[in-house]
Structure 1
Amino acid sequence: MEELATTKQKIYGIVKSLKSDNANEAETRFKLIDTILKDVLNWETKDIDVEKHVREDNVSTFADYILKTANTAIVVEAKRISNFALGDYNQRKILLGRRFLETELGSAVVQARDYARGLGIDFACVTNGVLWFIFPAQRHDQVSFNDSSGILFSSLDEIFDTYYSEFTGLINRSSVLAGSLELNLYGRAENQIDQRHLKSFFSPYSNISKDNPIYENLSNQIVTSFSEKVLSFDAEEFSRLYVPNAQNIRFDTKIRMTVSKRDTVVSKKTTRLMKAKDRERFVEKIAINNDFSKLAFIIVGTVGCGKTTFLHYLEKVKLQDLLSDKSNNFHWIRIDFLESTKDTPYTKFIYDHLFKYIQNSNLGEKDYSILPAYSEEIESLKRGPLAFLSDENEKNREISNLILADYKEKSPYIEKIFKYHADKSNIYIIVDNIDQIESDEKQGELFSATLSIARKLDLNLIICLRQSTYIRNRNSPLINAYDYEYGQIDPPSVLGVLSKRFDLLSAIVEGISFSFIAENGAKVKVENASEVIGLLKESVLGSEVGRQIDILASEDLRLALRMTRDFLEKGYSNTSQGIQSYAEGKKYILPRHEALRAIIVGNHTVYDENYSAVGNVFDSKLSIHNLQLLKLFILNACVNRATLSSFEGIDGDEIIEHLKNIGVAKKYTRQVLKVLCAQRYLFTPSHTVSEDIAMYAPSRLGGYVVRELLVDFTFLENLMFDTYISDDETWQNLKEISHEIESEKNIIRKIDIRVKRIRFFWKYLTKSYSPLLSESLKRTLPSEWCNDLFGDNTVSLESTFSRVKRSANRNYSKPKRS
């Protein structure tokens, strides 16, 4: 408050001096308006441009001030300190109607509006240092200028004594960065409201409808081979499929980027279960527990890394001998919460599994389990109430009724059986897919139910969790209820897994025959389907297709399998040519763009990031023009930093400060960082994305997008369909060209027009990226923020266009007659 009082006193002194000297506009600007902009509204010197040239109707004029950041700009029209005659216009909000615009203040508003429109700026302010009037100079929501309103602060007394918070909350730097002008003058922070997405009107693949005939005839076998259905296979087959070692890539030379490793999320000693020695020690500890001491393990891993598969590997392969020999008193009870329903309480769900296990194992046998478990109770009854019965059959009937009552109720029966065996057997309850339940509250209930039952029945416990789920719960009493030991699952090689799945597919289609009609109308007969699986495998492994799946899956095996299925279903044209070439011993090279299209689009006809494994880096989905490419801007900086061999991550606070410096509010930066992590472009080595700012590192996928896919024809064309186009001229051009493409029958000509459309899109992206780049250069941000991403890649893009055109001419040109 002291600082504000001092500033107020200083400003009032300047006003008094200016009025007594009848100061002109230049003095008013230099002494008063500059002071308020910097000392009261906290605009920085680098934010302020003065005497900005504006040319309109062949007349050169100059805007007094432009307050400019990467996200917003305001024209400030300054007047001398003499008072405006306000007349009847002294309310807070003033409609910009014709009557108002005829006043002295209204005339200045028109002047500022025209400057702003000439510079392509949305907001303007008129001030004489004492009066401040802020208004929208142009709108993008179908509301006319004359139907809009401006906000008036008519005097410094009004500002400092009554409306200081409102004044600064509207036009000080931090408020403007957070969207205060849009919110107060438009009624919302967003300035993108129309459905300007090509996907709403067109489809790039409307002419593609036929599936790969190999997939059509072998779909069941392909789905089985490239899904989690293999978890139900027998031990021998499963053992051949399992990849027991983790992938280890430290530096990707193709994209020239250090591939950072995620930290271990557990502060205690952690067993790396994908390392042979660590895995054997883990298995030995589980299997050889002769004193029947109680063990509790948490196994953590990223999404899709193979946690469930590892559990099946333990059960089917490493512990097979123990589980098959009932004399070992070893029990393995796996509970998968993917099988749970919303209507079933978690305690009941767990007890139902335990009850079913007792029924199907020797724990349900009379002499081995039931009579010993009830022995004390039976003896007590025989000494007591049943002593009055002389008929042994009648006594046994009463004992049977007692046990049967517990059996029907389930929980008393289960508890007696397990408590009896607790110090005589190694009984493990294995809990998987807790984190498939989305609600944190429900996850807490499930934890509580699981741990309570395990402790009550004195069971050994193994819980599999995503690392993010563990982090959310690691300080909770639920986690601290046990002295856990920890295991870590690191994802294996994607290509190694796919190779084994193709071998499986080849085996299960052995001897199957099918036929189909080729692209040229000929009937093609395949005598033995396993022979064409080699073609499919060759099209993926050791090719660009496999590399794409490996990188785009970003260590998520479940996603990699899905991508492979999508590719086999939708990404393979000219099948008959491929089969014929393969049969002749020739290598059939699949066009990489077809594979990428299938991976990006999946089962949809047009790209939409809501349904794709690949997020749209060309649209941050903030609905704000100048921040549309913020996602790509942040990702590019992180990838640039990761080229250093010493790279370990970039601090979130550093990202936020750099972006705040160029004019991006903290809330937008946080929002985009969260999305980049969710879409697997960035990750936090500590696995957290929360209010506590973390370290961030780009994934291989992030590096691949910035260094390669940015100039890929298929990538650009598909993502273009889900990108908002704010520029009117670009939007009209893209629509007209898209109509032209749909009407064109000649394939080569169609390719030329598609190239033309992407050139327009690239120009739009370049323009959208420019405010972020120019402000970074202007404010001398570190070099990783300052490279001209689109300018530097324009030559590469033209090479891509040339390659696409050559390919089209090679494949579709009619041979010349001799």
Structure 2
Amino acid sequence: MPQTDFDQGAVAMSELAVEQENTTVDRNEATTRFHIIDRILFDALGWQKQDCVLEEPLDGTYTDYSLGNPGTRLIVEAKKEGVYFSVPLSSGPQIVRLASLLRGNPNLSAAVKQAASYCSTRGVELGAVTNGHQLVAFIGSRTDGTAPLSGRAIVFRSLREMEEKFIDLWNWLSPEGITSGSLKELLTKESRPLPPEKLSQRLFQYPGLKSRNEIEIELDILGELFLQDIVKAKELEEDFLRECYCTSGALSQYALVSKEILKSRYHELSKDQGKVASVTSKEGISPDLFEAVISKGVSRRPVVLLGDVGVGKTTFVRRLVRIDAKEELERSIVLYVDFGSQPALRRDLETFVSENFAKQLLENYNIDLHSNEFVRAVYNGELNRFSKGIYGQLKDVDPAKYLEQELSLLASLTEKLESHLKASFDHLRASQKRNAVVFFDNIDQRDAEFQDAVYLIAQGLSETWNLTTFISLRPDTFNSSRKTGSLAAYQPRVFTISPPRIDQVVTRRLKFAQQVINAGRFSLGAEGITLDSSLLRDYIDVLITSLSFNHQLSECLDNVSQGNVREALNLLTSFVGSGHVDTRKILDIYRRSGSYTVPLHEFLRAILYGGAVHYDPTSSPIANIFDISSRSPREHFCLPVIMNFLERQAQHSSAELGFIPSSRIYDHCQSLGLRPDEIDIALSRGTETGIIDVTAEESKTGDRTERFRITQNGAYLLHRLSRLFVYYDAVVVDTPILSDEMRPKLSDARTIQERLDRADDFLTYLDEQYESFGELETGLDWESISSAARQDITNVWEALEKAAARRDGQSQYNGTQN
């Protein structure tokens, strides 16, 4: 009886599983695909190679495998064998919620998001990611209102599991299985009905573009120039670094989380790594770091500068080079590679770095690696040996022939840029006593695999090229790489960069911009702009005064940005020139009275909405905590309940660094009648929006334990924003309303009076939904939160009435005078 395709596939899968159990080779991506993934897809699952497109290009991206004919039916993203997907090895269902799988799982998360993006761009329903040993498949492009990353996925944890459950693997991912739609049907089955559509889905233009007047447009442009781009002006660099740089390490006085949590950023690192020093001491730059800068590569290992996103790693490096170690680096060659602004591909990384070095040597040091004089100096020893070799006799007999052979030798020596660079640095060190110091910056804006690749290059430059190398990393990616990535095999020197005080950074930046404007040192003409910079000068004065006297603004900036300087400046820039702020009124009052203090609600409205007419959770830095995924009224409060629980539990001594095990969160929420999938979605939404932190630890059996804690952003939302009218006015458009009676009332509102009424109705609706908890003790004091929000609405009404009374009085006065 002839074997069927299924039988042949089962045999192929079994042979592969057995073979790989006895193999310890660590393969790169291409080899993993050739040795393992190709065999799973083509030998076991029966896809035909003629129906597969490799590296299919579209809009500058490339899919690893596009499978199907006619039309692509499945996209597979391949990772190298060493990129481990943190999925439980021995327990758990084969069908899991994707959001839960990705949480605290950076390698898998990056791969799934990449594959989902390919599916969405190409209109392909099914996507999968695999490292050869593990496989996750999901719906990457959906039309049922569910975001791909909020759906479910199938998981195969090992090749052995693929063999043991081959009938499932075949039914779900073979060409016949894909055609039957069994995987799509399995993953789209939902046991609960979806909630009603949001108001945003009923609006004619959502989120819309907020119109601005001429003054606001000019301020927006000027704000970008003087608050963001001014740091890039070469003529201002040293003054900027001297006057705007704030020493890191000072704890925020505005943070709404405990100081112990603020101190704990590098706890895991110091626990595993041993001695970890700060980049600064009370006297300035750390002596240990200073020694590393001038060590001339003697330690043969890179220096790692650790800091969270936006804490000022780039500014620290620039100041180190231009000011703090300027004299010591005077005779050195300083090379700086910014991976945040330069689009290097991982596969071309070494070539990219070499070409970047060569370019900087020419432009900054007038060293032409390929000039005749320089090349002959670098390879002087080789030329001397050549003259004593078999061609040496030609020097007198046939000078032209000798020169031809000599040039051929030099051409071969300079043919490979990487080896020529190494020889050039050796020559410069020996002949001119010039050491090279290399900084690899902003690699934390790339995925973990990219960061590992850059670190290996830095290690090679330190170990074999004898260069001093610095590399900037985030603590979480560093810790992850120490366990399973490139850093596991090395012991780098580590220095930490803690975040500076946000209020101090922002105030210094504003004052510096004001000084530059007053001195006319930054030419707008050079930027091709003809605007009145006095507009921004006056507006900056308003901001400096407001931050000095209205501490609510400093508290907002500090907590919403979570100590991220870059994000704090983005928030400030979004306020300057916002269409949601009456800029003309602000400037008129300032110029008439000499001062104006920005109230918190004006600032919040600008950052909540950005440049849109309506609140959009995908672009706003502030999350909607009342969103739901089902028709359960209690789910509106699932995320607030979790946030409150995390904050209360963090006060106990058993909560290490404020982190609470997920099991305790589920126990608490399920005791309130909340479903596991609702809790799961809330936790994922909380971590994605930055109001909850997550950390994950793996046991030796592969089981993953998650722990969570509330962030500064989350604490600010829970204690401040949730008690303000401006917040409910914004998020009402993004919250499904379960009440058929209330839903028509919560429609589009334009005037302030209509918005106040709508916010009041929205609070009434939420009050009614909260009653579904009955006598259960949630821990969340919703009555207090709701009461405070209503009081804020009342305060706005009273302010409007007073303003109207003043206008009436002024109108009557003018009439009497006339």
What is the TM-score normalised by the length of structure 1?
0.65
Are positions 1:682 and 2:680 aligned together? no
> Is 2:198–2:734's contact at 8 Å kept on the other side of the alignment?
no
Q: 2:264 aligns with which of 262, 265, 280?
A: 262
Using a 3 Å threshold, how does the CA distance of structure 1 residues 681 and 343 change in structure 2: closer, same or farther? closer
Unpaired segments ≥5 residues, structure 2: 1-143, 145-184, 522-530, 814-818
Are positions 1:485 and 2:485 aligned together? no
* CA distance in 2 between partners of 1:242 and 1:720 (Å): 40
* CA distance in 1 between partners of 2:640 and 2:595 (Å): 37
The residue that corresponds to 2:110 in the other structure is: none
C-alpha distance after superposition, 1:160-193 (max 9, x if no partner): xxxxxxxxxxxxxxxxxxxxxxx99994144225
The residue that corresponds to 2:709 in the other structure is: 697
Equivalence map 1:545-556=2 (5 Å): 545-556=553-564
SS at match of 2:320: helix
> Is 1:335–1:350's contact at 8 Å kept on the other side of the alignment?
no
C-alpha distance after superposition, 1:416-474 (max 9, x if no partner): 22345568654332222223224x44444444455445544333322111222212211
* CA distance in 2 between partners of 1:244 and 1:621 (Å): 44
* CA distance in 1 between partners of 2:601 and 2:790 (Å): 17
Q: Which amino acid in the other structure matches residue 688 of structure 2?
A: A
Are positions 1:805 and 2:791 aligned together? no
The residue that corresponds to 1:403 in the other structure is: 410
Are positions 1:790 and 2:782 aligned together? yes
Using a 3 Å threshold, how does the CA distance of structure 1 residues 443 and 262 change in structure 2: closer, same or farther? same
Q: Which amino acid in the other structure matches residue 554 of structure 2?
A: G
Q: CA deviation at 1:203?
A: 7.7
* CA distance in 2 between partners of 1:229 and 1:526 (Å): 14
Using a 3 Å threshold, how does the CA distance of structure 1 residues 658 and 809 change in structure 2: closer, same or farther? same
The residue that corresponds to 2:739 in the other structure is: 727
SS at match of 1:309: helix
> Is 1:596–1:714's contact at 8 Å kept on the other side of the alignment?
yes
Q: Which amino acid in the other structure matches residue 815 of structure 1?
A: D
* CA distance in 2 between partners of 1:621 and 1:275 (Å): 49
* CA distance in 2 between partners of 1:289 and 1:792 (Å): 60
* CA distance in 2 between partners of 1:210 and 1:506 (Å): 24
Using a 3 Å threshold, how does the CA distance of structure 1 residues 625 and 457 change in structure 2: closer, same or farther? farther
SS at match of 1:505: helix
Are positions 1:599 and 2:603 aligned together? no
The residue that corresponds to 2:39 in the other structure is: none
* CA distance in 2 between partners of 1:538 and 1:617 (Å): 32
The residue that corresponds to 1:430 in the other structure is: 439
**Greater CA drift, 629-638 or 196-205:** 196-205
* CA distance in 2 between partners of 1:511 and 1:278 (Å): 30
Q: Which amino acid in the other structure matches residue 386 of structure 2?
A: L
> Is 1:607–1:719's contact at 8 Å kept on the other side of the alignment?
yes
C-alpha distance after superposition, 1:611-654 (max 9, x if no partner): 11111111155676542331111012223445679974242232
SS at match of 1:611: coil
* CA distance in 2 between partners of 1:206 and 1:291 (Å): 55
SS at match of 1:733: coil
* CA distance in 2 between partners of 1:207 and 1:222 (Å): 19
* CA distance in 2 between partners of 1:385 and 1:289 (Å): 42
The residue that corresponds to 1:209 in the other structure is: 211
Equivalence map 1:37-48=2 (5 Å): none
* CA distance in 2 between partners of 1:257 and 1:245 (Å): 15
The residue that corresponds to 1:310 in the other structure is: 316
Q: 1:248 aligns with which of 232, 247, 251?
A: 251
> Is 1:299–1:489's contact at 8 Å kept on the other side of the alignment?
yes
C-alpha distance after superposition, 1:7-61 (max 9, x if no partner): xxxxxxxxxxxxxxxxxxxxxxxxxxxxxxxxxxxxxxxxxxxxxxxxxxxxxxx
Q: Which amino acid in the other structure matches residue 298 of structure 1?
A: V
The residue that corresponds to 1:673 in the other structure is: 683
The residue that corresponds to 1:68 in the other structure is: none
Equivalence map 1:367-378=2 (5 Å): 370-371=375-376, 373-378=378-383
* CA distance in 1 between partners of 2:604 and 2:721 (Å): 10
Q: Which amino acid in the other structure matches residue 798 of structure 1?
A: R
Unpaired segments ≥5 residues, structure 1: 1-140, 142-182, 514-523, 743-749, 778-784
* CA distance in 2 between partners of 1:708 and 1:596 (Å): 11
SS at match of 1:222: helix
SS at match of 1:210: coil
Identity, in percent, stands at 18
SS at match of 1:605: coil
> Is 2:207–2:615's contact at 8 Å kept on the other side of the alignment?
no
Equivalence map 1:720-799=2 (5 Å): 720-735=732-747, 738=748, 741-742=749-750, 750-771=751-772, 773-774=773-774, 776-777=776-777, 785-787=778-780, 789-799=781-791
Q: CA deviation at 1:377?
A: 1.7
Q: CA deviation at 1:349?
A: 0.9
SS at match of 1:418: helix
* CA distance in 1 between partners of 2:734 and 2:405 (Å): 72
SS at match of 1:683: strand
* CA distance in 1 between partners of 2:540 and 2:467 (Å): 46
Using a 3 Å threshold, how does the CA distance of structure 1 residues 800 and 349 change in structure 2: closer, same or farther? same
SS at match of 1:201: coil
Q: CA RMSD in A?
A: 3.9
The residue that corresponds to 2:356 in the other structure is: 353
Q: Which amino acid in the other structure matches residue 680 of structure 1?
A: G
Q: 2:596 aligns with which of 588, 604, 610?
A: 588
C-alpha distance after superposition, 1:543-597 (max 9, x if no partner): 2333322221111111111111110121674444433443355432334322111
SS at match of 2:770: helix
Using a 3 Å threshold, how does the CA distance of structure 1 residues 650 and 296 change in structure 2: closer, same or farther? closer
Q: CA deviation at 1:715?
A: 0.9
The residue that corresponds to 1:506 in the other structure is: 514
SS at match of 2:285: helix
* CA distance in 1 between partners of 2:697 and 2:328 (Å): 36
Q: CA deviation at 1:296?
A: 1.7
* CA distance in 2 between partners of 1:434 and 1:622 (Å): 39
Q: 1:339 aligns with which of 332, 342, 350?
A: 342
> Is 2:633–2:738's contact at 8 Å kept on the other side of the alignment?
yes
SS at match of 1:428: strand
* CA distance in 1 between partners of 2:728 and 2:244 (Å): 36
Are positions 1:538 and 2:545 aligned together? yes
Q: Which amino acid in the other structure matches residue 790 of structure 1?
A: W
> Is 2:549–2:597's contact at 8 Å kept on the other side of the alignment?
no
Q: Which amino acid in the other structure matches residue 410 of structure 1?
A: L
Using a 3 Å threshold, how does the CA distance of structure 1 residues 250 and 671 change in structure 2: closer, same or farther? farther
> Is 2:617–2:623's contact at 8 Å kept on the other side of the alignment?
yes
Using a 3 Å threshold, how does the CA distance of structure 1 residues 593 and 469 change in structure 2: closer, same or farther? same
The residue that corresponds to 2:476 in the other structure is: 468
Q: CA deviation at 1:667?
A: 5.2
> Is 1:296–1:482's contact at 8 Å kept on the other side of the alignment?
no
> Is 2:334–2:436's contact at 8 Å kept on the other side of the alignment?
yes
Q: CA deviation at 1:201?
A: 1.3
Q: CA deviation at 1:717?
A: 0.8
* CA distance in 1 between partners of 2:652 and 2:696 (Å): 20
SS at match of 2:197: coil
The residue that corresponds to 1:239 in the other structure is: 242
Q: Which amino acid in the other structure matches residue 709 of structure 1?
A: L
* CA distance in 1 between partners of 2:383 and 2:341 (Å): 40
* CA distance in 2 between partners of 1:407 and 1:451 (Å): 23
* CA distance in 2 between partners of 1:452 and 1:525 (Å): 52
* CA distance in 2 between partners of 1:571 and 1:275 (Å): 44
Equivalenced residues, count? 601
Q: 1:713 aligns with which of 697, 720, 725?
A: 725
Using a 3 Å threshold, how does the CA distance of structure 1 residues 200 and 241 change in structure 2: closer, same or farther? farther
Q: CA deviation at 1:491?
A: 0.9
SS at match of 2:705: coil
* CA distance in 2 between partners of 1:380 and 1:622 (Å): 80
What is the TM-score normalised by the length of structure 2?
0.65
The residue that corresponds to 1:617 in the other structure is: 625
> Is 2:538–2:587's contact at 8 Å kept on the other side of the alignment?
no
Rg (Cα) greater in structure: 1
Q: 1:418 aligns with which of 415, 422, 425?
A: 425
Using a 3 Å threshold, how does the CA distance of structure 1 residues 394 and 482 change in structure 2: closer, same or farther? farther
Using a 3 Å threshold, how does the CA distance of structure 1 residues 798 and 287 change in structure 2: closer, same or farther? closer
